Amino acid sequence: MHADLLIICLLAALLSIDVRTVGGTMLSRPLVVAPLIGLLMGDAKTGFLVAYFIELVWVGMLPVGASLPVEVLPVTVVSVFLAATYSSKLGNFSESIIMFCIIISIPVGFMSRWLESHIRELNSRLSDYLDREVSEERIPNVEMITYMNIAVTFLKGFLVCFLPIFFGSHVLLNVYNSLPFNVKQALETGFYLVPLVGIAVVMEIFFIKKYTLHFALSFIAVFVFSLFTKVNPFLIMGLSVMAALLLLYMGRERKAGV
């Protein structure tokens, strides 16, 4: 288990460089990370579920200006790792395990954010140091500082994932096992309701009054369609992608016309 943990935390640390340093190529989003780690843990199902849960809920949090959002990468890594480990230890897949793991790993995201703000304060000192170098007639070593910062980010990404899992894994399993039955059941229900938060977040981002009709039509079309036939998800996916492309195309036509 320790070898697994080490490899996954190193991978997470590598990906954590992407969160801010590489300017975000989406490689570090839960949508990509969770299935990847699930795959490595031999539990792709858990990976996809966590990706679906975490990605949408926190997708609206933006690193605009000086504001730091909760870092979802460590949350994802810790929850997928713990959920996959617990599922294999307890010998069965259970919705409450996934929910429990997500709940306990959210604080890790806040911890990571706290560390990040301290790294940024340290960078302010470095910036002062560079200014001083220039005023003292020396060419500052900007490259070294940049690479050092990448190393610091790597280290932070590693520790933030490694420490909670290494020290918390056993304790948290005991906590889970000793949860009252009611709470476990509540977690299971939560598993079915929490995705709604994600959907609400996305709706809040994209919903424009002008397009209410399009939205309703697509809903009704698929709904009616699914009443009559056993729905093939690939067909629906294909149809909705086609409809979306058509709308994109129409949008462009109209613009060109005007």
Partner 1 sequence: MYKLIRKSDLMKVYFRLFLLEASWNYEKMQNIGVAYVLMPIGNRLYSDFEGRKAFVGRNLKFFNTHPAMASFIMGVVIHMEEQMKLGEPVTPEEIEALKNSMMGPLAAMGDNFFWEYLRPFCAVIGVCIILLCGNNYGFAFLGPLVALFLYNAFGLSVRYAGLTKGYENGPSIINYIAKLDLRSMNERLSLTALVMIGALFPFLFKLDNAELLPFKIQSMHHSLQGLAMFLLLLLMLLLLKIKVTPTVLFYGIIIGIIMLTYI
Listed ranges 8-16, 77-85, 158-166, 212-220: which one lies at the site for partner 1 (CB under 8 A): 212-220
Residue 67 binds to partner 1 (criterion: CB under 8 A) = no
Ranges within 158-177 binding partner 1 (CB under 8 A): none
Residue 42 binds to partner 1 (criterion: CB under 8 A) = no
Spatial contact of 72 and 108, defined as CB atoms under 8 Å apart: no
* Residue of 7, 90, 183, 253 interacting with partner 1 (CB under 8 A): 183
Shortest distance, position 18 Cβ to partner 1, whole Å: 9
Shortest distance, position 29 Cβ to partner 1, whole Å: 7
Residue 40 binds to partner 1 (criterion: CB under 8 A) = no
Ranges within 88-147 binding partner 1 (CB under 8 A): 95, 99, 103, 106, 120-124, 126-128, 130-131, 134, 137-140, 142-143, 145-146
* Residue of 3, 92, 178, 205 interacting with partner 1 (CB under 8 A): 205
Residue 14 binds to partner 1 (criterion: CB under 8 A) = no
Residue 49 binds to partner 1 (criterion: CB under 8 A) = yes
Shortest distance, position 10 Cβ to partner 1, whole Å: 19
Question: What gap in Å lies between CA 99 and CA 20, rounded to an integer?
Answer: 27
Shortest distance, position 120 Cβ to partner 1, whole Å: 5
- CB-nearer residue toward partner 1: 2 or 178: 178
Shortest distance, position 31 Cβ to partner 1, whole Å: 5
Residue that the structure tokens 């703000």 belong to: 117
Shortest distance, position 235 Cβ to partner 1, whole Å: 10
Shortest distance, position 178 Cβ to partner 1, whole Å: 15
SS (H, E, C) the chain: CHHHHHHHHHHHHHHHHHHHCCCCCCCCCHHHHHHHHHHHCCCHHHHHHHHHHHHHHCCCCCCCCCCCCCCHHHHHHHHHHHHHHHHHHHCCCCHHHHHHHHHHHHHHHHHHHHHHHHHHHHHHHHHHHHHHHHHCCCCCCHHHHHHHHHHHHHHHHHHHHHHHHHHHHHHHHHHHHCCCHHHHHHHHHHHHHHHHHHHHHHHHHHCCHHHHHHHHHHHHHHHHHHHHCCCCHHHHHHHHHHHHHHHHHHHHHHHHHC
* Residue of 5, 10, 14, 21 interacting with partner 1 (CB under 8 A): 21
Listed ranges 4-12, 31-39, 80-88, 168-176: which one lies at the site for partner 1 (CB under 8 A): 31-39
Greatest pairwise CA separation for the chain in angstroms: 79
